[in-house]
Structure 1
Amino acid sequence: MNSKIKVLMVEDSVSLSAIYMAYLEGTDYDLVTAETLSSAHAALGAFKPDIVLLDIELPDGNGLDFLTATTALENPPKVIVMTAYGTSDMAVDAIRKGAFDFLTKPFDAARLIVTLDNAAAQMTLGKQAQALAKLERDSYCKFIGKSLAMQSVYKTIDSLAPSDATAFIVGESGTGKELAAEAIHQQSPRRGAEFIAINCGAIPGELMESELFGHVKGAFTGASANRDGAACIADGGTLFLDEICEMGLDLQKKLLRFIQTGSFRKVGSNTLEQVDVRFVCATNRNPIVEVSEGRFREDLFYRLHVVPVSMPPLRERENDVLMIANHFLRQFSTASGKSFEGFSEDAAVAIQRYPWPGNIRQLQNTMQQVVVLNDGPLVDVQTLPGSITTGALGISKTRAIESPAPSTIAAKLVALEESHLARREQIEPLWLTEKKAIVAAIAACESNINRAAGLLEIAPSTLYRKLQSWKKAEA
């Protein structure tokens, strides 16, 4: 044991107390004695024992009343009842009221120490279990889920948020990348300032610079007044650049300078402005591929890619899918005045087996559809959209035949999922399709790059850059 275990002995016999104290000399137990229930109650608050050795027959009452009082505490000690009047009924009553063990007098040193060691071991295990329970969270900020994959995300955000290090969030569409960015902001010292999000893929390229840095009156057609951009508004807070790989190369250069210096100029202005922002960015693409293909600046990537945060797809989050489905079901049911209470066994199997390619966003939309189009109290397989259960059931709406067993449903859903995966594997990545088209054009033009670029309607420099990037990737 690394530290002394505190033991309170409630015993009215002074001679027995002396014997038990002698038993524990040289051990890792710190012993305090009390001769009455009143003094025991006082010691309980002042000494805060880990273990109590409790006599039953005491001058001012019954020890079992003290046992009941200890079990009501927030962190109750382990209580070992000891009495010379022990019977099997009394032992059962003591254990039923929360006693850890029962000692019948007289007992020797070995018996006492073994019992105390067992209680100490149980106490240690209990503390470890409490610590693990605190680490294993069912939810975090706006996230729902207790899978190992999400525990890793929570831990990463806990470590990352207090610093000003740039977070680079990657993950499929619908996995909660913006929720992760918001969590980083809310767990950081900047939580009192603004969290500003810009979707780099949703804003036209010609307007993106103005959205980011702002503009002055007359900077371009339609600029009828001065306007602050996201950089100004997020001063002191967090600037979240979603779908960062969609940003054009020209603006990437200006963004890099902004990140390096903290300064920028509004569109149409010569005035240099300085702000203090924390950067968080996200993408559903593979940033390494984007860099190698020349669509994302390498220097900007390494400036932003400080602490990566990988958001797991829903299919890799174990039983989280059912927790999240229940959350959305309750949310939409309340909003719509419906009475949904949960899922049938078959529906739960279907939801857990489906691969959810659209991740949480798809699950959210599905639950809203279920609530809007149906009534409760339970969601069954017939209530779920056909895209979730296609090929899994052969049931008519009239339920003329019995539902197949859940194991049959699961087998069919697994086959359906494998079919989906096989079809997805046949889809060729866009960059590979582009590469094949370029290689074919160059071959048709007998290696004349300029002619091939003209036929492809792209700049020769773009063609040379792509060829060079492929050579580096293959080297």
Structure 2
Amino acid sequence: MSEVEFGKPPVLVVGGLVAPGTRTDALRDAGIAVEAVPDGAAALALMERDARRVLLIAEDLADMPGTTLMRTLSERNVSHTSVLVLKPGGVVDGARVRGAYDFLVEPVDDLRLVTALNNARERAVLHAAVEDLSPDMGPAGYFGFIGRSVVMRSVYRMVESVARSRATVFITGEPGTGKEVCAEAIHKAGPRAQAPFVVLDCASLPADRQEAEIFGHAPEAVTDTAFGLCGAAASADGGTLFVRDISALHPELQVKFLHFLQTGLITPCGGGRERAVDVRVICASDRDPMQEVVAGRFREDLFYRLHILPIHLPPLRDREGDAVEIAARMLREAAAEAGKRFRGLAPEARAFIADYAWPGNVRELQSVVHAIVDAFDGDLLTADMLPAPIRGETGGEAASDAIAVGTGSGNAETRAAATDGAALSSDAGGYSQGEGTVGLVVGLTLAEMERRFIEATIEACDGSLPRAARMLGVSPSTLYRKRESWGEEQD
């Protein structure tokens, strides 16, 4: 029997699920230390004193349901704990394990249990390591960012590392992920924090106005520009120029912008003396810049001159736990501004917010919170205040509700993605009235129908099993296991 691995967090077993003997020996042989407590109350008392990173709990404990234990831990802000739920055999209701990292359905063999616990343990170690290495975060967040997920902490570290450089930063990410917040964080974390931070939005400028807005202009050349005669580059002298949606820069102007980056010199539009400016340039794009280069819409030499320090912002669906924290902060701020009583999120509302995919990212979440504050009042934001799609009701009117409330501020691609997801959900739920629908399934076994439906859902989610799992209301591990079993059947 091997020694338990040094430095690995022990697994806290709640409810005596791992009986002495075979399972305990299998875990120790795999290097997994085990602590055991008899019920939920004992687990809460232990976690209050010294939080454990990995929990294996029964769905129904002697003193409380396992879901109640998970909800209580969440309410007490026990962060970065990987929770696995052991469920009795039978039909799995994905909604009942909301908040768990994974769940196992009895009977579970030793290899499956060891694999699941090792994955949870590695996740817990990663969370702890990232937290130790991350920049300090005050109660207000990190320079405008809210969230403590692993992926965002890596973004904060990147911001810290590039802030003191003079090199150009290129920020990418889906609409609504906070690219301007990131650019301002870089500015505030660096030596130019007290100098101007100037924002230029290329997408909102007509092509014939871009040159004057960036480089300034002679008095008679253009009238009524946002940055006056001097232009955005000169306005940012000594500070930072953030160019939003650089991909929208007119092709003929890209050469002049490249010259500005290489020399630090600007020449006003319509005539004027060339002058030098000291500007840190940060740019951003909703689109994949390399695809723009391949399509011939963006100069390759300009791309490589800009793409010195790239930062990619993750979508909200990949920021584990952040959606709830962001929603709570936005709710308090919006309520204070509107004179409403809201002070937090009800447990069920927290669960729905955590599970929703948020195709419009933080911008969509902000729209939803502000709409709720405008329409309701109370001590807690409850689940019934959330739009129907966020509660998992995606058929009929609910689908159009998601698009109207959730992604109205996103771009056309985002809205199209939301529409596609809604259409799939309503068809799957039996709302489609198309001819021949019944004929497509008659003659198939239930297992084959399930397989075809799951595979269609995964395909509609661009091959993403986590997204498909959210749509189907199950854990990703369920889909992984089903795919493995289908492969075995083919063998």
Structure 1 gaps of 5+ residues are 1-128, 395-414, 428-475
Moved more, 313-322 or 337-346: 337-346
Q: Write the letter of the residue equivalent to 1:135.
A: S
C-alpha offsets along residues 287-314 of structure 1, whole Å, 9 cap, x if unaligned? Answer: 1100000000000000000010010100
Report the CA distance between 1:218 and its aligned residue: 1.0
What SS does the corresponding residue of 2:242 show, helix, strand or coil?
Answer: strand
C-alpha offsets along residues 164-183 of structure 1, whole Å, 9 cap, x if unaligned? Answer: 01110000001000000001
What SS does the corresponding residue of 2:204 show, helix, strand or coil?
Answer: coil
Aligned residue number for residue 349 of structure 1: 351
Aligned residue number for residue 270 of structure 2: 268
- Distance in 2, matches of 1:213 and 1:171, equals 27
What SS does the corresponding residue of 1:280 show, helix, strand or coil?
Answer: strand
Work out whether 1:177 is the aligned partner of 2:179.
yes
1:137-216 equivalent positions in 2, closer than 5 A: 137=136, 139-216=141-218
- Distance in 1, matches of 2:224 and 2:328, equals 47
Report the CA distance between 1:418 and its aligned residue: 7.7
Aligned residue number for residue 294 of structure 2: 292
Tell me, yes or no, if the aligned pair for 2:395 and 2:422 is still in contact at 8 Å: no
Q: Write the letter of the residue equivalent to 1:201.
A: A
- Distance in 1, matches of 2:154 and 2:130, equals 16
Report the CA distance between 1:389 and its aligned residue: 2.5
Instruction: Indicate which of 339, 352, 358 corresponds to 2:360.
Output: 358
Structure 2 gaps of 5+ residues are 1-127, 397-420, 427-455, 463-491
What SS does the corresponding residue of 2:384 show, helix, strand or coil?
Answer: coil
Name the % identity: 43
Larger radius of gyration: 1
Moved more, 297-306 or 213-222: 213-222
What SS does the corresponding residue of 2:281 show, helix, strand or coil?
Answer: strand
Report the CA distance between 1:424 and its aligned residue: 9.5
Aligned length: 278
C-alpha offsets along residues 62-105 of structure 1, whole Å, 9 cap, x if unaligned? Answer: xxxxxxxxxxxxxxxxxxxxxxxxxxxxxxxxxxxxxxxxxxxx
Work out whether 1:244 is the aligned partner of 2:246.
yes
- Distance in 2, matches of 1:174 and 1:233, equals 26
Taking a change above 3 Å as real, the CA distance of residues 142 and 343 of structure 1, as seen in their structure-2 partners, is: same
C-alpha offsets along residues 431-465 of structure 1, whole Å, 9 cap, x if unaligned? Answer: xxxxxxxxxxxxxxxxxxxxxxxxxxxxxxxxxxx
Tell me, yes or no, if the aligned pair for 2:163 and 2:186 is still in contact at 8 Å: yes
Tell me, yes or no, if the aligned pair for 2:130 and 2:153 is still in contact at 8 Å: no
- Distance in 1, matches of 2:197 and 2:382, equals 40
Aligned residue number for residue 317 of structure 2: 315
Taking a change above 3 Å as real, the CA distance of residues 264 and 131 of structure 1, as seen in their structure-2 partners, is: closer
- Distance in 2, matches of 1:416 and 1:350, equals 17
Normalization by structure 2: what TM-score? 0.53
- Distance in 2, matches of 1:226 and 1:149, equals 40
- Distance in 2, matches of 1:136 and 1:418, equals 42
Taking a change above 3 Å as real, the CA distance of residues 424 and 207 of structure 1, as seen in their structure-2 partners, is: farther
- Distance in 1, matches of 2:423 and 2:352, equals 11
- Distance in 1, matches of 2:130 and 2:286, equals 35
Instruction: Indicate which of 391, 394, 397 corresponds to 2:393.
Output: 391
What SS does the corresponding residue of 2:310 show, helix, strand or coil?
Answer: strand
- Distance in 1, matches of 2:228 and 2:372, equals 47
Aligned residue number for residue 125 of structure 2: none
Tell me, yes or no, if the aligned pair for 2:395 and 2:425 is still in contact at 8 Å: no
Report the CA distance between 1:348 and its aligned residue: 1.3
Tell me, yes or no, if the aligned pair for 1:137 and 1:151 is still in contact at 8 Å: no
Taking a change above 3 Å as real, the CA distance of residues 131 and 325 of structure 1, as seen in their structure-2 partners, is: closer
Tell me, yes or no, if the aligned pair for 2:202 and 2:246 is still in contact at 8 Å: yes
C-alpha offsets along residues 193-239 of structure 1, whole Å, 9 cap, x if unaligned? Answer: 1010101101111111111011111114778x971101111011101
Tell me, yes or no, if the aligned pair for 2:177 and 2:363 is still in contact at 8 Å: yes
Q: Write the letter of the residue equivalent to 1:302.
A: Y
Taking a change above 3 Å as real, the CA distance of residues 149 and 339 of structure 1, as seen in their structure-2 partners, is: same
What SS does the corresponding residue of 2:166 show, helix, strand or coil?
Answer: coil
Normalization by structure 1: what TM-score? 0.55
- Distance in 1, matches of 2:194 and 2:228, equals 26
Taking a change above 3 Å as real, the CA distance of residues 261 and 338 of structure 1, as seen in their structure-2 partners, is: same
Taking a change above 3 Å as real, the CA distance of residues 300 and 425 of structure 1, as seen in their structure-2 partners, is: farther
What SS does the corresponding residue of 1:206 show, helix, strand or coil?
Answer: coil
- Distance in 1, matches of 2:174 and 2:129, equals 34
- Distance in 2, matches of 1:132 and 1:425, equals 35
Aligned residue number for residue 261 of structure 2: 259
- Distance in 2, matches of 1:226 and 1:383, equals 46
Taking a change above 3 Å as real, the CA distance of residues 236 and 300 of structure 1, as seen in their structure-2 partners, is: same
- Distance in 2, matches of 1:392 and 1:214, equals 50
Work out whether 1:135 is the aligned partner of 2:137.
no
Taking a change above 3 Å as real, the CA distance of residues 219 and 158 of structure 1, as seen in their structure-2 partners, is: same
